[in-house]
Amino acid sequence: MRGKVPAAVVASILIAPILISCVVVHDGGSEVGGPAYAETLDEAGRKATRYMIDYLVAERGMDPTEAYALCSLAGDLQIAEVVDVPHVLVAMHMAKSIFR
């Protein structure tokens, strides 16, 4: 990541060569987004969604149920990396324009 540190950086823990958790939600430009590493795409997608819900609750003051519904409607899950076998990276992004 270059330049300014994201507004919400929760934690990133590296133990041995395995990234245990990556809870970074980038709040910049026209969208917010955060990646999640896991051993399967399903697990990484769930983590990325959970991280976005946590961000929406902490930074945007939303109720967890509302944040979950918003992720279902406006969240964009993207497969970011599958070459780091057995770990994959999935990111959830959301346009900032929905918060206006």
Residue 25: band (very low, low, confident or very high) from pLDDT cuts 50, 70, 90: low
3-state secondary structure 2-26: CCCCCCEEEEEEEECCEEEEEEEEE
Whether the pLDDT of residue 6 is over 70: the answer is no
Cβ atoms of 79 and 92 within 8 Å: the answer is no
Predicted local confidence at residue 22, as pLDDT: 41
Predicted local confidence at residue 26, as pLDDT: 64
Quote the tokens at residue 78: 């993207």
Predicted local confidence at residue 78, as pLDDT: 92
Domains located in the chain, CATH noted:
8-84+92-96 (3.10.28.20)
Q: Which residues pair with 91 in a beta bridge?
A: 35, 78
pTM here? 0.72
3-state secondary structure 45-100: HHHHHHHHHHHHHHHHCCCHHHHHHHHHHHCEEEEEECCCCCCEEEEEEEEHHHHC
Instruction: Give per-residue pLDDT as tens, 28-83.
Output: 678 888 888 899 999 999 999 999 998 899 888 999 999 999 999 999 999 988 88
